[in-house]
Chain A
Amino acid sequence: MKNTVFFCTFACLCLTPLCAQTGGIPEGYTPIFNGKDIKGWHVSRTNHHGTTMSARVENGILAIEQNPIGEGGILLTDKRYKDFELYLENKPDWGCDGGIFLRSNEEGNAYQITIDYLIRNTVGSLITEGIPNMSGTGPRRPPDWQKIWKRDEWNSFRVRMTGEAPHITAWMNDQPIIDFTDGQNHALGGVRDGMIALQLHFTNDTTPRNIPHGTHRFRNIAIKELN
């Protein structure tokens, strides 16, 4: 019931100009990816998904791929963010597990919105990665992500994160998918800020969460700091 009210409320809000906007950075956001290179970003050297992934930029698109095979990783912003709204567009290959890390540390302990674009998995689910489980309330995933997702096209994410015990709200292709407030701050060390990271999962003989040459593409990555 609570979920129904939440999604109805946001369905109405989506009639506003901001929600109606697709394919581009919304007004009031500052780009954090320059479309030419990864200046302002770096690959983690301690993340368990890998430390040597390929992050190349072509035609304004950031493409992350395993390098060598099996070794994914996370691409972190150099800057840390406290309260913010993040906007980005994503187009992955089918069969690839990725994600958006929020308030991440260097090793990738973070809140995460999944882009697990493979069979029996979910795009747009709020989970924790390497930090204690969340204890709060509110919708944490879309009821049916495939109804919102545009296969083989660009998909937009807008994520708002505020508060000590974070309140995370997110929209995928302008549809509300998450409105969750954690019971406490579960970030490692109780930090109130952290980096944003783009993730590509590792693979091995028992973890087939990516395909050979599988790529997650991102563009129009921008942020609005709220503090």
Chain B
Amino acid sequence: MLGTKVLIGVLSVAGLLAAQPKTQTNSIGMEFVLAPAGSFTMGKFAPTCAPVGYQDNVTEAQRAECLKMAAAAARPGFRATVPRAFYIGKFEVTQEQYRKVMGTNPSYFTQDKVGEPTDQYPVDSIAWKDAQAFIQKLNAMERTKVYRLPTEVEWEYAARAGTEDEFQGAKRQEVAWYQNNSKFATHPTGKLKPNAWGIYDMLGNVWEWVQDWYDEQVQPRGPKGPANGTVHVLRGGAFNSHEKNIRVSVHAGGPGSVINTGFRVVRDIK
């Protein structure tokens, strides 16, 4: 009997998901992409050491010590699970969308700075509490509770889109606006290549706030962030970031440099 109930339950969930469209658009024109349930390896850390004599700067003793320290610091990571499918913003929240909800646009990169209308540019200069205020108001506008920030696990899961490497299986400049190609400004959302699930600008353009508190660690130690903290986690790097910050695993924290912080929204399936 119990087995039958479980089976029916599983089939119901499967049926619900099968019925979910791959994309959705909400009342303010915000597009969402379906992220299926699944899991991935998160939190891996593996320092590397240069060979002896590299750039005339590594002795045998230094390399041996580096390898010893790297082995001690390495972390295998952990399996992070996303138990339920969810929708995530196809793009970073734009200045137009922010204005529609909040009535204001705090962005630095407006027409007087970039020489063209910036409605489709990501909203910037956003503090974590600004993102929360936006979400609260968006929920109220649609009389729902489905909107929220992604958790850090959800963000990295959606950024990876099933890929194992650090760059969504592409070259950085194909998917991200960063120090090497941005001319030190944000760009309209969705102009570069999306990842395998059709999500744009997960790397570069603006740093994105997630729900979790920051833990002052080089990589997260587990799938749940700390219960409290002083700042929240930032992900993805921005238009001004060095290429080293343009990786799906980079685990950073606030406050950021103000003109380079934005966010994207998750929509729960109820």
Interface on A for B, CB 8 Å cutoff? Answer: 45-46, 48-52, 68-71, 95, 105-107, 109, 118-120, 130-132, 188-189, 202-209, 211-213
If the complex has contacts A68-B73, A207-B50, A212-B66, are A45 and B254 also in contact, measured as CB distance less than 8 A? yes
Q: Which of B238-270 contact A (CB under 8 A)?
A: 238, 240-245, 251-260
- The answer to whether B256 and A46 touch across the interface, beta carbons within 8 angstroms, is yes
- The answer to whether A46 and B245 touch across the interface, beta carbons within 8 angstroms, is yes
Q: How far is the CB of B48 from chain A (nearest CB, A)?
A: 4
Distance between Cα atoms of A202 and B49 in the complex (Å)? 11
- The answer to whether A119 and B56 touch across the interface, beta carbons within 8 angstroms, is yes
Q: How far is the CB of A47 from chain B (nearest CB, A)?
A: 8
Q: How far is the CB of B60 from chain A (nearest CB, A)?
A: 12
Contact of A205 among B48, B65, B254 (CB under 8 A): B48
Given A69-B73, A119-B55, 14 more pairs with CB closer than 8 A: A45-B234, A46-B234, A46-B252, A46-B253, A51-B216, A51-B252, A52-B216, A70-B47, A70-B48, A106-B257, A109-B257, A130-B240, A131-B184, A208-B55
Q: Binding site of A, secondary structure by majority: helix, strand, loop or mixed? A: loop
Measured CB to CB, the nearest residue on chain B to A104 is B257
Distance between Cα atoms of A106 and B242 in the complex (Å)? 13
Residue numbers in B under 8 Å from A51 (CB-CB): 216, 218, 251-253
B70 CB–A CB distance under 8 Å: yes
- The answer to whether B57 and A118 touch across the interface, beta carbons within 8 angstroms, is yes
Residue numbers in B under 8 Å from A70 (CB-CB): 47-48, 70, 73
Measured CB to CB, the nearest residue on chain B to A71 is B218
- The answer to whether A69 and B259 touch across the interface, beta carbons within 8 angstroms, is no
Residue numbers in B under 8 Å from A213 (CB-CB): 65
Contact of B66 among A50, A69, A130, A131 (CB under 8 A): A69
Distance between Cα atoms of A107 and B237 in the complex (Å)? 10
Distance between Cα atoms of A203 and B243 in the complex (Å)? 14
Distance between Cα atoms of A181 and B54 in the complex (Å)? 36
Residue numbers in A under 8 Å from B45 (CB-CB): 68
Residue numbers in A under 8 Å from B253 (CB-CB): 45-46, 51
Measured CB to CB, the nearest residue on chain B to A106 is B257
- The answer to whether B259 and A188 touch across the interface, beta carbons within 8 angstroms, is yes
Residue numbers in B under 8 Å from A52 (CB-CB): 216-218
B91 CB–A CB distance under 8 Å: no
B82 CB–A CB distance under 8 Å: no
B69 CB–A CB distance under 8 Å: yes
* 8 sampled A-B residue pairs with Cβ under 8 A: A45-B234, A46-B256, A69-B73, A70-B48, A189-B108, A204-B49, A204-B50, A206-B54
If the complex has contacts A68-B73, A69-B66, A70-B48, are A48 and B244 also in contact, measured as CB distance less than 8 A? yes
Residue numbers in A under 8 Å from B245 (CB-CB): 46, 48, 107
Distance between Cα atoms of A131 and B65 in the complex (Å)? 35
Distance between Cα atoms of A71 and B58 in the complex (Å)? 17
| A interface footprint on B85-108 (CB within 8 Å = 1, 0 otherwise) | 000000000000000000000001
Distance between Cα atoms of A52 and B250 in the complex (Å)? 13
Q: How far is the CB of B259 from chain A (nearest CB, A)?
A: 5
- The answer to whether A95 and B57 touch across the interface, beta carbons within 8 angstroms, is yes
Residue numbers in A under 8 Å from B184 (CB-CB): 131-132, 188
